[in-house]
A and B are shown apart, each in its own frame.
Chain A
Amino acid sequence: MDRSLTAVQLKGITKRFPGLVANDSINFELKKGEIHALLGENGAGKSTLMNILFGLYQPDEGEIWINGEKTVIEGASKAIDLGIGMVHQHFKLVQPFTVAENIVLGNEPVKGIKIDYKLANEKVRAISERYGLKVDPQSRIKDITVGTQQRVEILKTLYRGAEIVIFDEPTAVLTVQEIEELIEIIRNLAAEGKSIIIITHKLKEVMALADSVTVIRRGKVIKTVTTKETNEQQLAELMVGRDVSFEVKKTKREPGEVILSVDALQMKGEQGKNALNGVGFNIRAGEILGIAGVDGNGQSELIYAITGMRKVDGGSVKLNGRDMTNHSPRQVSVAGVGHIPEDRHKHGLVLDFSVSENMILNTYFEPEFGRSMFIDYQAMDKLSDKLVNEFDVRSSGIHTPARALSGGNQQKAIIARELHKDPDLLIAVQPTRGLDIGAIEYVHKRLVQARNEGKAILLVSFELDELYALSDRITVMYEGRLMGEVDAEHRDDQQLGLMMAGNKVAADVSKGRG
């Protein structure tokens, strides 16, 4: 493969949205057969740039050159004609259809007026074998794993003749093993002469996979380097624009009394399956228990059960020795539980309320906000001013709607509110989801600080780095059960990955602990 040829060249691409410049005269070059990572924080402008390349947006300025020819990409169908394919972060598949049906959808081989399913299956099988993407063309999407679904998405682009494949955050939903397989697949594609762009904010993957990296910050290209010439630390600094430390300073600490004790929790889920299947664990004061696992294995239900947001069908929840099973969310909250919810827009905030109103969302009934039926808005604003300063929540004022805040500041507001309640138990679910590195550092610092102050912390996360950085103990959840604890000191991604995929591994560390 002649690497000197360019597949894609973007020259001076500028895209403005009301109030911001998402892309500011960006130059980008993808060579044929190259794996090129596009690295940047959330909101840096990576997705905008790729949507321009895929024809979903039109640039305000700049030129697009594909295979040495200047083109205008009016829409996704033009992009596909030019041999550009995109594997989206959220898959666009028809669940009840088979793999082959999904792949040929919109471009079906026909016999007369009927779809030729036999030919479709054969075609799909041929491509999947050529690129080493193992899938069964006849199985249905709803029956296959997320990793396999992603392969179907990749096959879809290849079936349409893609020579340039864009991956948008491809590893976000995969287990450790699936990520390794994906890396292998992407390498194969490149070896076959495909040119690959990977949008990501994960430094490890960039280093493991890409030939070169373009770092974008605030809509501008900061630098393009080959991975050979750089390292994670340097990339992080380029991405954030200042020194960053991945290390979370955490001293050893003897845990205290048992704060939360969960035993044999059962909860029915959808379609007759049990969402929770006998979950039990303890958390002590001054300790962070991390729950690892792939999304959708009962983590949300476990949190709903503990916080009283959904009733359990069996088992018990005890807080400070008091039975709190199936108590109302209000009772649980008042008993000393703070909760940083997984979905800050759905549960954490009333987006149309002001920052100030959101600060009292679960304490508004307390006498400090008025002893009568009326709300003491002055007390509310006073508290909000204090919390906003203390937790550095940046907005154009405490009376702006929460909707207007950035994700990081929304999260800080929630953390401020929950920590102000001074809870014995703090539940943090995906506390850094969608946040940039600076905000992640801050959230981690606050969580460890809360632990050092003697709070019990239950951390649910899909990010292994986060779990290992924060947790004193780590346990793995799979299909509504705990698969056992792993050593939180000595990281072993292989073992953890196996457990997340449902293989029970003898976990000696959990023995002898309460």
Chain B
Amino acid sequence: METLKKVFVKSSILIPIVAIVLGLIVGAIAMLAGGYDPILAYSSLLDKLFSTPYNIGEAIRAITPLIFTGLAVSFAFRTGLFNIGVEGQFVMGMTGATIIGVLLDLPWYIHAPLAVITGAVFGGLWAGIAGYLKAKRGVNEVISSIMLNWIALFLSNFIVVKFLVEKGQQKSMPIHDSAMMKIDWLIKLMDNARMHWGTVVAVLCVIIFYIVLWRTKQGYELRAVGHNPDAALYAGMNVNVTMVKSMFISGVFAGLGGVFEILGVFGNQTVMAASPGYGFDGIAVALLGGNTPIGVLLGAMLFGGLSYGSAGMSFGAGVPPEVVRIVIGAVIFFVASHGLVKWFLKPFLNKRASKRKEAV
């Protein structure tokens, strides 16, 4: 009981909670300034999130890709790399899965796994390009991966239009059922919310993330390079190869996110005017989660939950989507700026500490 209390009182838990509250307050001020009712808005947000099985299911669907992209950003970050190209790797993952899902016709137990693996490898290789350029030529991975985002977007559009297009439409032919990863019984249970195996894989990836980094020799190398590349070089690790590996694994996480959007949710790939944005949201999620696997999971739930629930705010309280973005932005701002929140909390924490001292 004592330890349980400690966990909840500890400032590491307290700070994010206070940050969320602060963000919601700032959001409320923004809504008041615009003449909207914040209480009604927040209650419609919660309503949207938890009211029906359908909404719960759809919220989970919205959270799933964010877990993948959050893990992708975090993993690279742990090795000292800023993978801003998760967006592009996500798109490449979608494309890889679509190619296999549309063009091949195989029994399900081969087809679905093959589509998943192909998409993951596509994502990994795409990130690997940025890693390779960094290792071989010293190209800053931020620049190269952000450029690769655009290449990925238009390359995948090209592939869809050229090889996979449904006649007369701006999207690919449908994925064969044998490659789809929907969970039919759960869909029925959740009133047709789009449930898929990707969520399960995402949670598995959270565990894999932890095991790879903290249980394997490879992870030891990755972390050493991330903390101190000079010491890693001194210790005889191949820093360049490690960077490429890290980018590849990061890209695999990103690619998987894209894969399940296709195989689990949409069943085809549209020609995109802009990339879907999950990769960039992944940066925010990684930040929210402090680059730890559990943190990413919670961060994705917060971010995805807010994004999904925000539709309710527009619908229930008439808050325009722009203001909704302000609310989300405010929450992320406060969660990300630990220092600010700590500073805000300082008088309270000090008082508590001195009280405790008095008690002793």
B partners with A: yes
Using a CB–CB distance below 8 Å, which chain A residues touch chain B?
307, 309, 328-334, 339, 341, 346-353, 357, 361-362, 364-365, 369-370, 373-375
On whether the beta carbons of B236 and A329 are closer than 8 Å, the reply is yes
Cα–Cα distance between A373 and B228 once the two chains are bound (Å): 22
Q: Which 5 A-B pairs have the closest CB atoms?
A: A330-B236, A347-B234, A362-B235, A329-B236, A361-B235
28 sampled A-B residue pairs with Cβ under 8 A: A307-B234, A309-B233, A330-B237, A331-B236, A339-B234, A341-B234, A347-B231, A347-B234, A348-B231, A348-B234, A350-B227, A351-B227, A352-B227, A352-B228, A353-B224, A353-B227, A357-B220, A361-B224, A364-B217, A364-B221, A365-B217, A373-B217, A374-B216, A374-B217, A375-B215, A375-B217, A375-B219, A375-B220
Kindly state the interface size class of chain B when it binds its partner.
20 to 34
Cα–Cα distance between A30 and B241 once the two chains are bound (Å): 59
Contact of A350 among B215, B216, B224 (CB under 8 A): B224
List, in ascending order, chain B residues with CB within 8 A of A352's CB: 227-228
Beyond A309-B233, A330-B236: 18 further Cβ-contacts under 8 Å?
A307-B234, A328-B238, A329-B233, A329-B234, A329-B235, A334-B236, A341-B234, A346-B228, A346-B230, A347-B234, A351-B228, A353-B223, A361-B224, A361-B235, A369-B217, A370-B217, A373-B218, A374-B216
Using a CB–CB distance below 8 Å, which chain B residues touch chain A?
215-221, 223-224, 227-228, 230-238
List, in ascending order, chain B residues with CB within 8 A of A329's CB: 233-236
On whether the beta carbons of B234 and A309 are closer than 8 Å, the reply is yes
Cα–Cα distance between A232 and B227 once the two chains are bound (Å): 43
Cα–Cα distance between A330 and B239 once the two chains are bound (Å): 12
Assess A373 versus B216: contact at CB under 8 Å? Given A329-B236, A333-B236, A362-B235.
Answer: yes
Q: A380 — nearest CB in chain B belongs to which residue?
A: B220
Q: What is the interface of chain B mostly: helix, strand, loop, or mixed?
A: helix
On whether the beta carbons of A349 and B238 are closer than 8 Å, the reply is no
Cα–Cα distance between A500 and B354 once the two chains are bound (Å): 59
Cα–Cα distance between A334 and B235 once the two chains are bound (Å): 11
Minimum Cβ distance to chain B for residue A49 (Å): 30
Q: A417 — nearest CB in chain B belongs to which residue?
A: B235
On whether the beta carbons of B216 and A328 are closer than 8 Å, the reply is no
On whether the beta carbons of B228 and A328 are closer than 8 Å, the reply is no
On whether the beta carbons of A361 and B231 are closer than 8 Å, the reply is yes
Minimum Cβ distance to chain B for residue A104 (Å): 39
Minimum Cβ distance to chain A for residue B221 (Å): 8
List, in ascending order, chain B residues with CB within 8 A of A370's CB: 217
On whether the beta carbons of B220 and A349 are closer than 8 Å, the reply is no
List, in ascending order, chain A residues with CB within 8 A of B234's CB: 307, 309, 329, 339, 341, 347-348, 362
List, in ascending order, chain B residues with CB within 8 A of A332's CB: 236
List, in ascending order, chain A residues with CB within 8 A of B221's CB: 364
List, in ascending order, chain B residues with CB within 8 A of A365's CB: 217
List, in ascending order, chain A residues with CB within 8 A of B217's CB: 364-365, 369-370, 373-375
Cα–Cα distance between A330 and B238 once the two chains are bound (Å): 9
Cα–Cα distance between A370 and B217 once the two chains are bound (Å): 9
Q: B217 — nearest CB in chain A belongs to which residue?
A: A375
On whether the beta carbons of B230 and A375 are closer than 8 Å, the reply is no
Cα–Cα distance between A374 and B220 once the two chains are bound (Å): 10
Cα–Cα distance between A82 and B224 once the two chains are bound (Å): 49
Minimum Cβ distance to chain A for residue B2 (Å): 22
On whether the beta carbons of A364 and B220 are closer than 8 Å, the reply is yes
Cα–Cα distance between A397 and B174 once the two chains are bound (Å): 59
Minimum Cβ distance to chain B for residue A304 (Å): 10
Cα–Cα distance between A362 and B236 once the two chains are bound (Å): 6
Minimum Cβ distance to chain A for residue B274 (Å): 38
Minimum Cβ distance to chain B for residue A405 (Å): 15
Cα–Cα distance between A241 and B52 once the two chains are bound (Å): 74
List, in ascending order, chain A residues with CB within 8 A of B227's CB: 350-353
On whether the beta carbons of A346 and B231 are closer than 8 Å, the reply is yes
List, in ascending order, chain B residues with CB within 8 A of A309's CB: 233-234
Cα–Cα distance between A15 and B218 once the two chains are bound (Å): 46
Q: B228 — nearest CB in chain A belongs to which residue?
A: A350
Minimum Cβ distance to chain A for residue B113 (Å): 22
Q: A308 — nearest CB in chain B belongs to which residue?
A: B236
List, in ascending order, chain A residues with CB within 8 A of B233's CB: 309, 329, 347
Cα–Cα distance between A68 and B210 once the two chains are bound (Å): 65
On whether the beta carbons of A349 and B231 are closer than 8 Å, the reply is yes
Minimum Cβ distance to chain B for residue A377 (Å): 8
Q: B234 — nearest CB in chain A belongs to which residue?
A: A347
List, in ascending order, chain A residues with CB within 8 A of B216's CB: 373-375
On whether the beta carbons of B220 and A328 are closer than 8 Å, the reply is no
Cα–Cα distance between A307 and B233 once the two chains are bound (Å): 10
Q: A361 — nearest CB in chain B belongs to which residue?
A: B235
Q: B225 — nearest CB in chain A belongs to which residue?
A: A350
Cα–Cα distance between A341 and B234 once the two chains are bound (Å): 9
Cα–Cα distance between A252 and B301 once the two chains are bound (Å): 70
On whether the beta carbons of B231 and A350 are closer than 8 Å, the reply is yes
Minimum Cβ distance to chain B for residue A413 (Å): 13
Q: A369 — nearest CB in chain B belongs to which residue?
A: B217
Minimum Cβ distance to chain B for residue A372 (Å): 9
Cα–Cα distance between A6 and B238 once the two chains are bound (Å): 61
Cα–Cα distance between A257 and B299 once the two chains are bound (Å): 62
Q: A310 — nearest CB in chain B belongs to which residue?
A: B233
List, in ascending order, chain A residues with CB within 8 A of B237's CB: 330
Cα–Cα distance between A332 and B234 once the two chains are bound (Å): 11
Minimum Cβ distance to chain B for residue A264 (Å): 25
Cα–Cα distance between A367 and B218 once the two chains are bound (Å): 14
List, in ascending order, chain B residues with CB within 8 A of A334's CB: 236
Minimum Cβ distance to chain A for residue B246 (Å): 16
Cα–Cα distance between A339 and B228 once the two chains are bound (Å): 17
Cα–Cα distance between A192 and B238 once the two chains are bound (Å): 59
Assess A328 versus B231: contact at CB under 8 Å? Given A364-B220, A374-B215, A375-B215.
Answer: no
Q: B219 — nearest CB in chain A belongs to which residue?
A: A375
